[in-house]
Amino acid sequence: MLKFKEWFSHHHEDNAMEGHITQKHYTNPYLIGLLLGIVLLSTFLIMGRGLGASGVLSTAVSVAVDKVAPSQTENNDFYKGYLGDGTKNPFKDWLTFNILGAVLGGFISGAISGRNKLMVEKGPRFSKGKRFLYAFIGGSLMGFGAKMARGCTSGQALTGGAMLSVGGWAFMIMVFVGAYGMAYFVRRQWT
């Protein structure tokens, strides 16, 4: 029987049978950029809109707040925007299905490249607990910032960037400014 730990790695008994499946290298960044551009372009051509990722989290938060304290969402345009008019499930949305696909696409790619593994991404000198804390803090800032800017790296920088949107470009420049400005202070986490 498979243990939870093995969900992302493999059966021990199969090792002999399967031989060693090596981890493949990441693909050339310019090729990846070209492919990502084609995915983005197809989205424009087929749907007339771009990609987005943070919308799903907003829907989840709005639904949760609506369940716990409906009075909170009633007078709040931000939550109401994600809840819709109540005629359909808020999760039955373009962005939800998009991210669901991305999760599975990532899994398939990781499986083929031998990179699916339960692990924590951090530098060697950083503890796991602190990494989790930093991830949570970073995530919170990202969530707040993405909502303030009306979109995240996918929605504003990529989509807006390709459409030459003023807001998209202003956003993208500030993302790099913020990240480079902060990088020095959290270097122990990564190096």
The footprint of another protein on residues 39-78 (CB under 8 A) is 39-51, 53-54, 57-58, 60-62, 65, 72, 75-78
How many other C-beta atoms are found inside a 10 Å radius of the C-beta of residue 158? Answer: 23
CB of 75 to another protein, least distance (A): 7
Residue 90 in the binding site for another protein (CB under 8 A): no
Residues 130-159 that bind another protein (CB under 8 A): 131-159
Residue 189 in the binding site for another protein (CB under 8 A): yes
CB of 90 to another protein, least distance (A): 13
Compute how many residues bind another protein; rule: CB under 8 A: 142
CB of 87 to another protein, least distance (A): 12
> Cα 170 to the chain's mean position, in Å?
21
Q: By the 8 A CB rule, do 161 and 172 touch?
A: yes
Tokens 């090596």 correspond to what residue?
Answer: 22
CB of 46 to another protein, least distance (A): 5
Say which DSSP state 52 is in. -
Residues 17-36 that bind another protein (CB under 8 A): 17-19, 21, 26-27, 29-30, 32-36
Rounded to whole angstroms, the Cα distance separating 152 from 52 reads 7
Tokens 């002999």 correspond to what residue?
Answer: 16
CB of 170 to another protein, least distance (A): 5
19 torsion bin: left (phi>0), alpha (psi -120 to 50), beta (else): left
Q: By the 8 A CB rule, do 188 and 123 touch?
A: yes
- CA angle (168 as vertex; 43, 152 as ends), nearest 5: 70
Rounded to whole angstroms, the Cα distance separating 72 from 63 reads 11
CB of 113 to another protein, least distance (A): 7
Say which DSSP state 168 is in. H
Residue 2 in the binding site for another protein (CB under 8 A): yes
Residue 181 in the binding site for another protein (CB under 8 A): yes
Residues 97-126 that bind another protein (CB under 8 A): 97-123
Residue 188 in the binding site for another protein (CB under 8 A): no
With CB under 8 A as the contact rule, the residue among 1, 22, 70, 71 that binds another protein is: 1
